[in-house]
Amino acid sequence: MNTLEDILTTIDHSREKRKYFASLVLDQPSLLPQLLAICARVDDEISCRASWGLEFLCKHKLDIILPYLDQLTDMAAMVYRHPAVRPMAKIFEYLIIAYYQTKNDAVITSLTTPYRERMTEICFDWLITDQKVAPKAYAMTSLYLLGTEFDWVHPELKVTLENNYNTGSAAYKARARMILKKINKA
């Protein structure tokens, strides 16, 4: 049988290949620690492919990542290549939406205050550093929801969005307007 790393070399952005990879890990959950270890090799191109697979996996079975929140948050703070940052930011968004909006019991139990605080810090880092628009948009959504609990987040988020609005892309501005509108209503 091929190793997980061999299989990852065949994965691209196509939905079909990411779905195949996610199915492989769902069928063999014992592969998840190895997948996370590959994702954590942030200087290696294969970490990006592993991150795509992890995101697709989390989209379809979010609870699978819950025992690995320490590794996920440590890794998310280290990634810097856009093809890896984007899926990490999306996984954070999945977790935050599951916690605050859909109120997934397993996520609520696992995503303790220290994890939510760490995710807040990482999302702000993505928002204020040189990232493409997708991770910034996912971070905005996550931070808005986190700000419904942590009272300091909305004022900081508002200032950050307003300060970066004029230099943001059209997509950045659209998401920023939506989030600012929500903050102003709250």
**Residue 158, both tokens:** 């508002």
Q: Tell me, what's the pLDDT at 79?
A: 95
Report H helices in 12-45.
15-27, 32-39
User: Which helix (H) or strand (E) is 68 found in, with range?
Assistant: none
120 CB neighbour count, 10 Å cutoff: 23
What is the rounded distance in angstroms from the CA atom of residue 32 to the CA atom of residue 43? Answer: 20
What is the rounded distance in angstroms from the CA atom of residue 103 to the CA atom of residue 177? Answer: 26
Name the DSSP class of 41.
Answer: -
The pTM score is 0.94
Q: Tell me, what's the pLDDT at 15?
A: 79
Which amino acid appears at position 94 of this protein?
Answer: Y
Give 102-153 pLDDT, tens digit per residue. 999 999 999 999 999 999 999 999 999 999 999 999 999 999 999 999 999 9
Cα separation of the two ends of the chain? 54
List the CATH number of the domain containing 128: 1.25.10.10
67 confidence band (pLDDT: 50, 70, 90): very high
Q: Tell me, what's the pLDDT at 20?
A: 84
Domain count across the chain = 1
19 confidence band (pLDDT: 50, 70, 90): confident
130: containing domain: 4-185
Q: Tell me, what's the pLDDT at 115?
A: 98
Report H helices in 28-151.
32-39, 46-60, 69-78, 82-100, 105-110, 113-128, 133-146
41's CB contacts (< 8 A; 6+ apart) are 47
Give 155-182 pLDDT, tens digit per residue. 999 999 999 999 989 999 999 999 999 9
Is the model more confident about 143 or about 13?
A: 143
Give 72-93 pLDDT, tens digit per residue. 999 999 999 999 999 999 999 9
Mean pLDDT of 17-22: 81
14 confidence band (pLDDT: 50, 70, 90): confident
**Residue 96, both tokens:** 């935050």
136 CB neighbour count, 10 Å cutoff: 26
Residue 1 has pLDDT above 80, yes or no: no
| Region of 119 on the Ramachandran plot (φ > 0 left; ψ -120 to 50 alpha; else beta) | alpha
